[in-house]
Structure 1
């Protein structure tokens, strides 16, 4: 845990490290869901730690980019189930 970054992804903050795998929801609605092994880059980096050096952005670091790739899309569209209730028998 010598190198890590904290990024803003999908409205949540996530601590990422090199060589690790992460599951995220609400990443990119415009991204093609059928494509896998897609390379991505995120520029909403809040903090970078490299050894004893810590860079903190306000709100984000200006020229920091975190690169990664999407292995597969395991989250499908949300299924909405609506229940109909009787109005007479309450």
Structure 2
């Protein structure tokens, strides 16, 4: 794999991620706000298995693909509001 590709992968999956714990089920994911509207969430396989919404097959879906967890979104919003996650100026 090319060095610049490895660097890009690391940038999008590791750099700047803040651990956020879901207030509903305790699952922890890595979160980065790239803008007010764009949120990157890095799920681990363990977190996907433990998330109640994923396990129940509820939440946002599109063509059978689960796009996220509403309860986790609430925890991310709270982390933004309390300054744990910084949103860059747009």
Shared fold (TM-score, shorter chain, > 0.5): no
Structure having the higher Rg: 1
- The structure with the largest strand share of the pair is 1
TM-score by length of 2: 0.30
- The structure with the largest helix share of the pair is 2
